[in-house]
Amino acid sequence: MRSTRRHLLKAAAALPLAAHAWPARAAAPRTLVARPARVNLVGPAYPDTEVWSFDGTVPGPIIRIRQGARLRVDVRNELSQDTTVHWHGIRLPNAMDGVPHLTQKPIAPGETFTYDFAAPDAGTYWYHPHSRSFEQVARGLYGALIVEEAEPPPVDRDEVWVLADWRLDRDARIQPDFGNLRDLSHDGRVGNTMTLNGQVRDDFRVAAGERLRLRLINAASARVTALEFKGHQPVVIALDGHPIEPQPPEGGRIVLGPGMRADILLDAAGMPGERYQVVDTWYRGREYRLVDLVYDDRRRRDRPPQAFFRLPANKLPEPDLDRAERREVVFSGGAMGGMTAATLDGERLDPRALIERGKAWAVNGVAAGDHDGQHDVQPFLTLRRGTSCVLAMANDTSWPHPIHLHGHAFRVLSVNGQPSRLREWRDTVLMQPREKIDIAFVADNPGDWMFHCHILDHQQGGMMAHVRVA
Ligand code: C2O
Ligand code: CU
């Protein structure tokens, strides 16, 4: 049992290196196959779990490319339902964005679709289907997409942590209650088992004195995480791929809603033989230990390096706030939300009638229909290409929502009327209940772009719209 686990750990540790081997600049095509697989999630004491995977593993393979390089991927669908792949956070051409009906025909079972695009921004990104995402992501379809800086900064190890959440029964089977109305109208399908790179893990091994770059990706379909590294002082260097001034996380916790990422520098300041917990404290009363940092006998150096580096900024267009078009966006609905009515497929419906049709949420009074990108639905906002835009967003609900915009990065301007401390670039921002957040971006990427909550049950439940840049 021990040796199995060790073996698996070794295999996981080898992954990034193997991925490195794939050529950086060439548009070498690779294949990604979406298919069912059996994997061990919970450990040798439990049976394997039937999942949906990319290439038979959960998470799917780490894809690493150099900034500016092209990526070409043939995605073959060996599932029993339509799928697509969305490259979350990448500012790519609209036709490569992977939204069924809106940007492409869904990839039917047995079919292949070729994605081909350049990655303009360095950073930590990820890929996942955009078709019945509330089921497909929750069954295991996602992977990390790492865009490396031209000159990656010096660290001893560059590691990806893909965090995912599962709702399993006692035999480690995925409970098939996708899209149930309770999850949909409350905090989404929060599960009962957290995995780190596809496994419930006891240990993450470190060497005294080493410096790690940890790329944290919240790939859960609904669970928000707030990680604390006991006995350590992580330094955040990037959010959603984009560099910030290096600094400790606010309140000592790294908060990531579904879809969000953070790059941190973790200096292993402990001593050989020590062990420290990494805990997730987001849900009160439901705190748990994600993994232990375990110091082995090696000592990399006597103390970690002192200086922190700032990553080179990505070249993002700066919104012109004086001339920006300003739009209000109100998110409403959900349990205890007080929403009185919303429009669905042109019909004004009360919450009772909405829930009968599987809808509970609205963006500016409109609940989105069942397809991720319904071709017959009008954009809620049309912007001329090159326009600067401020979205004044209000979360008029009793639940947190990670709000995601495709095809662009936006600046977080203010929170509840107060200028935001970091003014950071993001592609997904977590809004607390009743919170107001202003964001700004330049609509420089033509096409129809999804704008939705990344709690995927909320998205399915109507919390979705799209912006047209024409
Ligand atoms: Cu990560 Cu519209 O999705
Ligand atoms: Cu939401």
pLDDT in tens, 167-211: 999 999 999 999 999 999 999 999 999 999 999 999 999 999 999
Architecture of domain 325-469: Sandwich (2.60)
Nearest-angstrom CA–CA distance, 467 and 349: 24
Amino acid identity of residue 414, one-letter, is: S
Please report which confidence band the pLDDT of residue 17 belongs to, taking 50, 70 and 90 as the band edges.
very low
- What number is the average pLDDT over the span 56-65? 97
Residue 16 pLDDT greater than 70, yes or no: no
User: Given pLDDT bands bounded at 50, 70 and 90, which one contains residue 308?
Assistant: confident
Q: Is the CB of 466 under 6 A from ligand 1?
A: no
Does residue 375 surpass a pLDDT of 90?
no
pLDDT at position 304? 84
Give the closest ligand to the alpha carbon of residue 334: 2
What are the domain boundaries of the chain?
2-148, 157-299, 325-469
Instruction: Please name every residue paired with 407 in a beta bridge, in sequence order, or none if there are none.
Output: none
Domain 157-299 has CATH 3.90.79.10: no
Residue 374 has pLDDT above 80, yes or no: no
Residue 442 has pLDDT above 50, yes or no: yes
pLDDT at 86 over 60: yes
pTM, whole model, 2 decimals?
0.93
Mean pLDDT, residues 308-334 taken together = 97
Q: What are the residues facing 326 on neighbouring strands?
A: 390
Checking if the pLDDT of 133 tops 50, the result is yes
- As a whole number, mean pLDDT of residues 25-48 equals 88
Residue 18: is its pLDDT beyond 60? no
Q: What angle do CA 341, 456, 146 make, to 5 degrees?
A: 145
Distance 5 CA to ligand 1 centre (A): 33
Q: Is the bond into 400 cis (omega within 30 degrees of 0)?
A: no
Going by pLDDT thresholds of 50, 70 and 90, the confidence category of residue 15 is: very low
Whole-number Å distance between alpha carbons of 441 and 426: 10
Residue 373 pLDDT level (bands cut at 50, 70, 90): low
Query: What's residue 377's pLDDT?
Result: 77
Average pLDDT, the chain: 93
Q: Quick one: pLDDT band at residue 306, thresholds 50, 70, 90?
A: confident
CB-hemisphere CA count at 13 Å for 436? 11
Could you tell me if the CB of 88 is within 6 A of ligand 1? Answer: yes
Residue 259: CB within 6 Å of ligand 1?
A: yes
> Is residue 74's pLDDT more than 50?
yes
The CA R_g of the chain, rounded to the nearest whole Å, is 21
CATH architecture of 2-148: Sandwich (2.60)
Q: Is the CB of 373 under 6 A from ligand 1?
A: no
> In this structure, what token pair is assigned to residue 40?
């061990």
How many angstroms separate the CA atoms of 290 and 312, rounded?
31
Pairing of strands 342-344, 366-367: parallel
Closest ligand to C-alpha of residue 373 is 1
**CA–centroid distance, residue 219 to ligand 2 (Å):** 15
Q: Is the beta carbon of 130 within 6 A of some atom in ligand 1?
A: yes
**CATH fold match for the domains 2-148 and 157-299:** yes
Phi/psi at 188 (5° precision): 85, 180
Is residue 386 scored above 90 in pLDDT? yes
- Is the pLDDT score of 3 beyond 70? no
End-to-end CA distance of the chain: 58
- Whether residue 470 contacts residue 369, with contact meaning beta carbons closer than 8 Å, is answered with no
